[in-house]
Amino acid sequence: MNKNTNLGLLILRIAVGGLMLLHGIAKIGHASFIGGMLAEKGLPSFLSYGVYFTEILAPLLILIGFRTRLSAVVYVFGALFAMFLVHSGQLFLLNQNGGWELELLGLYISGALALFFTGGGKIAISSSNKWD
């Protein structure tokens, strides 16, 4: 049986990078909203610009397959930051269908972690660096 691992990694990169990129695009120009949430938690509001790295730059790099492992670490950090900053009240809740309230965020984190451990595969802009 022919295993298409590289094609599978490409599909995972498109899913993980593409779906998060849409969240990042929606936040362009709205960093002040995130800064307000950070200030409420006692954190410096300039950290709000990190959303552009974690939800736009890292997903773009994952999509094209450049430094996929490094980008996945940044992506996971941003998703965990959002989970604990914005969604901490939902960590232990189930939705109306019995699933975890944060299952989408959990899938994003899991997919990015998988890419961290596997790399982006051969169907990528770069695949020879240890961070690819």
Question: What confidence tens digit (pLDDT) does each residue in 22-61 have?
Answer: 999 999 988 888 888 899 989 999 999 999 999 999 999 9
* The dihedral sign for the CA sequence 81, 58, 32, 107: negative
Is residue 106's pLDDT more than 90? yes
Domain ranges of the chain: 5-118
Quote the pLDDT of residue 1: 55
Taking CB atoms within 8 Å and a gap of at least 24, the contacts of 76-83 are: 76/109, 76/112, 76/113, 76/116, 78/50, 78/51, 78/53, 78/54, 79/20, 79/54, 79/105, 79/108, 79/109, 79/112, 80/109, 81/50, 81/54, 83/109
pTM: 0.91
Distances (CA, A) of 78 to 19, 75, 110: 14, 5, 13
The percent of residues in the chain predicted with pLDDT above 70, rounded, is 98
pLDDT band at 111 (very low <50, low <70, confident <90, very high): very high
